[in-house]
């Protein structure tokens, strides 16, 4: 690629300004280039620092460039950024000021004017260095500093792309920062709420208690709609919530196995109130979730007094018409933007069967 060709050309053939350095420094610079070609970047820096003041504005351009590339190879990005900042000020002070002024006014790199290949390379290393510092120091930066870093990374990368060379590195810097920011955003917890409607069904076990203390079992099958909602704290992977719903269900009740007990009712209204704390895990499979809830449910059925159904039940009482139960529910969930499909099932202490619900939720 043109960028790599240019870097190789600079390393092999560029020498510092002859009028600015001594013969000893010329020899040291050649030794530093040889060390760089041998991939001994630490030695390159050692030679350069011994023979040149890398912070001085009088330091030859060639020595600064070699130091900058070596710092990048050593992943010493703060030093790399300082060197290329110095280079830009030294070689392109007015040009850089014009480019940055136009970029900030336009908000993009499309109309900043001609960007030479050399300054484009400098911009690339600025973008690379700032991005690496941003990634390594992210947790120590406040929101304002993070915003400034992101703006500068994007600016220098885009200016580098506009330069006269064909290389994918600037685009990769932007992609790496976008991926990192997306992962951070995905981990960040937010707060929200939701409302929903669920179809629920369960089975109660009631007891007829005769005057003589004898007991007969009745089964009450309840089903209906439950309206509710909740509050939640969530990110892309986990959710914690408190939720609940209220419903008036219909129950059908009758004797379990004792044919001699003639007790039967249909469409018995049953009030159900449920509250729960829940946890949802969202695996990497996008749009799905697996949850567990610890609920408490109060239900009360308006069952007819046994004596009013059949005279054989005179003096008989009905136990279990109301109860408070605890349990556990497993939930499968599918997410569709604002809408969510929820399927729950589990057991309660006072219910005779599993509890099932299927519902749709809408999130805010």
Cα atoms in the Cβ-side hemisphere of radius 13 Å centred on 187:
5
**How far, in Å, CA of 162 to CA of 73, rounded?**
24
Overall pTM surpassing 0.95 (yes/no): no
Name the burial class of residue 110, with classes exposed (0-12), middle (13-18) and buried (19+) by CB atoms within 10 angstroms of its CB.
exposed
**Residue-by-residue pLDDT tens, the chain, 364 positions:** 444 544 544 444 454 454 457 888 888 888 989 999 999 999 999 999 999 888 877 888 889 999 999 999 999 999 999 999 999 988 889 988 998 988 888 788 877 778 888 888 999 999 999 999 999 999 888 889 999 999 999 999 988 888 766 655 888 898 999 999 888 888 889 999 999 999 999 888 888 787 777 777 788 889 999 999 999 999 988 999 999 999 988 888 877 666 667 777 888 899 999 999 999 999 876 789 999 999 999 988 888 777 666 666 677 777 777 889 999 999 999 999 899 999 999 999 888 888 999 999 999 9
- Nearest-Å Rg of the Cα atoms of the chain is 37
CA separation, residue 298 to residues 78, 254, 295, 329, 336 (Å): 63, 21, 10, 15, 31
Q: For 59, phi and psi rounded to 5 degrees?
A: -65, 135
Q: Which domains does the chain have, with CATH numbers?
A: 2-186 (1.25.40), 190-363 (2.40.160.20)
Structure tokens at 155: 């600016």
């Amino acid at each position: 690629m043109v960028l790599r060709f240019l870097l190789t050309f600079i390393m092999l053939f560029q020498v510092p300004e002859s009028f600015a350095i001594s013969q000893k420094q010329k020899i040291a610079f050649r030794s530093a280039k040889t060390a760089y070609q041998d991939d001994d970047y630490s030695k390159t820096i050692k030679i350069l620092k011994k023979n040149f003041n890398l912070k001085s504005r009088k330091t030859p351009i060639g020595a600064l460039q070699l130091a900058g590339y070596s710092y990048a190879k050593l992943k010493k990005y703060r030093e790399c950024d300082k060197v290329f900042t110095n280079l830009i000020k030294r070689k392109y002070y007015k040009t850089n000021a014009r480019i940055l002024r136009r970029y900030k006014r336009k908000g993009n790199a499309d109309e900043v004017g001609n960007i030479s290949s050399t300054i484009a390379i400098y911009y690339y290393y600025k973008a690379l260095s700032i991005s690496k510092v941003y990634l390594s120091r992210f947790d120590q930066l406040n929101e304002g500093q993070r915003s400034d870093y992101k703006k500068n990374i994007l600016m220098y990368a885009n200016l580098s792309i506009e330069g006269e060379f064909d290389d994918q590195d600037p685009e990769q810097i932007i992609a790496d920062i976008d991926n990192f920011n997306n992962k951070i955003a995905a981990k960040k917890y937010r707060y929200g709420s939701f409302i929903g409607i669920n179809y629920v069904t369960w089975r109660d076990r009631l007891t007829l208690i005769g005057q003589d203390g004898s007991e007969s079992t009745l089964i009450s099958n309840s089903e209906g709609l439950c309206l509710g909602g909740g509050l939640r704290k969530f990110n892309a992977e986990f959710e914690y919530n408190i939720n609940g719903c209220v419903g008036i269900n219909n129950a059908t009740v009758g004797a379990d196995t004792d044919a001699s007990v003639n007790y039967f009712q249909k469409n018995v209204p049953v009030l159900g109130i449920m509250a729960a704390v829940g946890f949802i895990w969202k695996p990497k499979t996008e749009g799905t979730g697996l949850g567990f809830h610890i609920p408490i449910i109060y239900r009360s059925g308006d069952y007819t007094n046994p004596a009013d159904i059949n005279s054989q039940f005179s003096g008989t009482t009905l136990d279990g018409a109301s109860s408070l139960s605890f349990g556990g529910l497993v939930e499968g969930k599918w997410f569709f933007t604002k809408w969510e499909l929820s399927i729950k099932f589990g057991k309660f202490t006072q219910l005779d069967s599993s509890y099932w619900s299927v519902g749709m939720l809408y999130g805010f």
